[in-house]
Copies of this chain bind each other. A is one copy, B any other.
């Protein structure tokens, strides 16, 4: 008997494998909101009829989506789109505004400085690049309910993001702007702790010598550095929380 790859498929396009196609189709519908959280996905039975494939193939696609926590499967009841992904979104989200508003607190933003300059040695090292180029350097502060929440010190590589030159970051924080304008493919975070020096303490309204949590995030798009940011949080009042499932 012929393989599915040689048969017609409802929404064919390139041609990954069949199960991957099914997986992507469903994924797309979930991510675009066409199938909102709680929505019941068609039964395996219906999907296999739709794609004219065996149940194992459908099952493989759905199992992967379940492992990725996009859907939830319940015997006898069916398969459902999962509620929002709680958790380590803190680390995955490059957007502090979203982080604060999901906590139900009022977001505030203050631009402290913004400069356009040729990258110096320190800038190049932070971005992990070698050649000469222009960068934008920004420092700003994020507040939650009027209280300092985090200090941000960011570099943007203008060679990778030319559009940033014409953006003033007076109203929107650079993280949000970048998120909307430049999709990233890879990000690396380093978390460490420091004690606040006098200027940092002043900006965060904490005592000099208090502990701070530092998150340094580097973001790339296809191996090309986009931005490097250093976020300083008051250490004892802020906690990064992440939840994992084991097996």
Contacts and interface: CB of A to CB of B under 8 A. Distances in A.
A242 B91 contact: yes
A48 B247 CA distance: 21
Interface string A62-96: 00100110000000000000000011000110000
How many copies of the shown chain assemble into the complex? 2
Interface residues of A, number: 42
Given A67-B67, A67-B68, A211-B211, A192 B239 contact: yes
A28 to B, nearest CB: 10
A246 B210 CA distance: 34
Interface stretch (A19-27, A109-117, A145-153, A154-162): A19-27
A212 interface: yes
A109 B198 CA distance: 37
A210 B86 CA distance: 28
A187 B242 CA distance: 8
A233 B191 CA distance: 11
B183 A195 contact: no
Nearest to A86: B188
A186 B245 contact: yes
Contact of A212 (B20, B87, B185, B193): B193
A246 B23 CA distance: 12
Given A211-B235, A212-B211, A23 B192 contact: no
Choose among A183, A184, A188, A245 the residue with the greatest number of B CB atoms under 10 Å from its CB: A188
Given A184-B246, A211-B211, 8 more contacts: A23-B247, A91-B244, A186-B244, A188-B242, A189-B240, A190-B242, A191-B239, A192-B240
Interface of A: 20, 23-24, 27, 64, 67-68, 86-87, 91-92, 183-195, 209-213, 233, 235-236, 238-247
- A-B residue pairs, 5 tightest by C-beta: A193-B235, A193-B193, A193-B211, A191-B240, A193-B213
